[in-house]
Amino acid sequence: MIEISNLHKAFQKLKALDGIDLNWNKGEVIALIGPNGSGKTTLLKCLLGLVFPNSGDIRLDKSSIINSYQYRERIGYMSQISRFPDQLKVVELQEILTDIRKKNNAQLDLDLFHAFKIELYKDKSLKTLSGGTRQKVNAAFAFMFDPEILILDEPTAGLDPISVEIFKEKIKSIPINKKYLIITSHILSDLEEITTRINYLQDGKVKFDLSMDQLIQKTGQNKLSKAIAQFLSSN
């Protein structure tokens, strides 16, 4: 379990996180959503170890990750905007990451690598690739090392409709209780088929934490955007 307890983070006078309490379990697909400035990115950066909270704790399997780094090898991260060294070829980046991760070919998850036909671009430098292709490379590398924790920040942004469906099918194919999946997205229609739990943040606080089934039951709405809007207006 990932346990987030009374997490606070301020940037000067701005309270980015104001007492966040959440528990995430393996097998859940967590949709972390909310308006711009709600604290989503700061929370993810705390989980990634890129930002240190002012107070509170994040525990993975009962052990605090604050001031730790070993746990990061268990994370696969897909950023909203891929920022790879432009001069590298795709195959060179793969070799570097594989060496850093200390994986052999038998341990690699190449499903998205093949589904997105990344091999067609392996000898091209990253700076020559289109934004959509770079995002496919970004997704393929996030899954490639079979991480236990997947953090996907606006993963479908820039992907064409066919690639979005491939991406969603990949998520749905993950065996239950094998991974933690945390996804942020403003494209709520892309989350409807895959998410199991909604964490809605607003002004650095958890506005609500409901399973998809609970949200549908409380609102009577099957469309995620309408269900959220109705729930927020009545609470």
Domain interval for residue 129: 2-233
Q: What is the mean pLDDT of the chain?
A: 89
pLDDT score recorded for residue 225: 87
pLDDT score recorded for residue 106: 64
Q: For residue 13, is pLDDT > 90?
A: no
Domains in the chain: how many in total? 1
Cα separation, 83 vs 80, whole angstroms? 9
Q: Could you tell me the pLDDT band of residue 10, with boundaries at 50, 70 and 90?
A: very high
Cα separation, 20 vs 208, whole angstroms? 11
Q: Could you tell me the pLDDT band of residue 51, with boundaries at 50, 70 and 90?
A: very high
pLDDT score recorded for residue 105: 65
Instruction: Find the DSSP H helices in 88-160.
Output: 90-101, 111-115, 131-144
Using an 8 Å Cβ cutoff, are 20 and 4 in contact? yes
Cα separation, 77 vs 114, whole angstroms? 19
| Residue 122 CA, distance from chain mean position | 25
Which domain CATH number covers 71? 3.40.50.300
| Three-class SS state of 183 | strand
Cα separation, 69 vs 158, whole angstroms? 31
pTM, two decimals, is 0.89
* Chain position carrying tokens 């060179």: 92
Using an 8 Å Cβ cutoff, are 81 and 56 in contact? no
Q: What is the residue-wise DSSP string for 129-143?
A: S-HHHHHHHHHHHHH
